[in-house]
Amino acid sequence: MGDNAAVKNHRHQVFDVSANVAPAGSRCFDDDGRLKRTGTAWTASAHIIAAVIGPELLSLAWATAQLGWIAGPTALFLFSIVTYYTSTLLADCYRSGDPATGKRNYTYMDAVSSNLGRMKVKVCGWIQYLNLFGVAIGYTIAASISMMAVKRSNCFHASRGKDPCKISSTPYMLAFGAAEILFSQIPDFDQISWLSIVAAVMSFTYSSIGLGLGIAKVAESWKFKGSLTGISIGTVTETQKVWRSFQALGDIVFAYSYSLILVEIQDTLKSPPSESKTMKKATLISVSVTTLFYMLCGCFGYAAFGDLTPGNLLTGFGFYNPFWLLDIANVAIVVHLVCAYQVYCQPLFAFVEKTAAERFPNSEFIKKEYKIQTPIPGFSYFRLNILRLVWRTLFVILTIVIAMLMPFFNVVVRILGAFGFGLLTVYFPVEIYIVQKKIPKWSTMWMSLQILSAACLVISIAAVTGSFAGLVEDLKSYKPFKSSY
């Protein structure tokens, strides 16, 4: 699944120009014959923040409420450390051999293939692309919830709470899908930096609003709610307490999951300095910023509501006023999701198109691009590829249909994310690093890495178990194509 094929592909995946490129050191081409990469630590940070700070942030107050004042913040901090550390291990494996001049691994799967062999490549591929596919569906559902929240808050305001304001999610999912069909025609990961920047700005917008409302709520009563051990027995049963604690761990680990696209982000970076140094800097910046926001939003949300903390601070109606500020926050969430959808889906798009180009190398349907004039300032023409148009459109339609059929799919996404954390964020980076750096078996370093991997796998299993319990509860009231809010 993509062992060496990536070396043959131009930045625009449907072309092969490796036979006619300038030598290494050219002003226009990198050492692998591809067009010069232009990414920096700041563009990489924008990609990471766009991927990491999502609507999951607004559920961290609920997660903190389940775990309490000790375990909640501790879990947020520890998982940030683990994510940062394993991300630096993976960043060192972008090139095989010499960290500055070795063979590039263009994708996560290429890094696994170069170090761990074909069987683990297949396992990694299934987990990675299932996660990316699941995120696309989850984002469709989350965007529709935020759009409905805007409509519903305005309805509540106009009727002064007398109208129940039941709203169907279907038209909002269709609107979100139409936007994604348009943006999905952007050919490559390195051309969506502006989308990531917009997404990052939107992330800070709605998270700042959620944080500000939490602080205001605490200041209003001059009291920090909550307890050291989290939601009290009585409010929930002992069994519910256990399952909710596991589910809270799932929410936290899912909130930090971006390693599945880390190598693809790193492949957009220019050098010198070496891509690993730039990526480590970007990882430190982005993980530090996201952890700060996670801590503040999670803690102040819990302090404001205690045991009654909603699953989502902005769409769960923990806050009702000022309604216009909530509308701004939810619009920002929608814009963020429109952009972040592309950040997650580009690696999946590229994989399918690369595989098709390898299997049918002479097909004009797959390889030919048409230049279409555009009236957009700064864009003289748009490159249209028929495979890209058809396949990506069908992909978006499929995610919309599944989102409408299974409105509880966000819980499935959490299950995939929790499972993926143990494998994609920890296990595979650790194993790749051990092989690439030739760390001796049973050495102190080897043992430490194995203990870290095993511990995170146990946590992932607990998180998956808790998420399954939440899924069972959602299935009790499941009605396909009848989602309302």
pLDDT digits (tens, 9 = 90+) for 167-207: 778 889 999 999 999 888 888 777 777 888 888 888 888 88
* Closest by Cα among 181, 119, 131 to 348: 131
Q: For 369-424, what is each residue's pLDDT tens digit?
A: 777 766 655 556 667 788 888 999 999 999 999 888 877 666 777 777 777 888 88
Q: State which residues of the chain have pLDDT below 70.
A: 1-26, 157, 159-165, 315-321, 373-382, 408-410, 474-485
CB atoms closer than 10 angstroms to residue 253: 28
Q: How many CB atoms lie within 10 A of CB 247?
A: 28
Cβ–Cβ < 8 Å for 282, 202: no
* DSSP-H helix ranges across 53-192: 60-91, 108-116, 118-159, 170-183
Q: Which helix (H) or strand (E) holds 370?
A: strand 369-373
**377/64 Cα distance (integer angstroms):** 47
Confidence (pLDDT) at 142: 86
Residue 147, both tokens: 């759009």
| Region for residue 23 given its phi and psi (left: phi exceeds 0; alpha: psi -120 to 50; beta: otherwise) | beta
The residue type found at 418 is A
- Please give the Cα distance from 35 to 33 (Å, whole number): 7
Q: What is the pTM of this model?
A: 0.80
Identity of the residue numbered 437: K
SS3 476: coil
Predicted pLDDT of residue 452: 92
At residue 3, the pLDDT reads 44
Q: In angstroms, rounded to a whole number, what is the distance separating the alpha carbons of residues 57 and 460?
A: 19
d(CA 282, CA 216): 32
Instruction: Judge contact between 241 and 231, C-beta under 8 A.
Output: yes
What is the share, in percent, of the chain residues with pLDDT greater than 70? 86
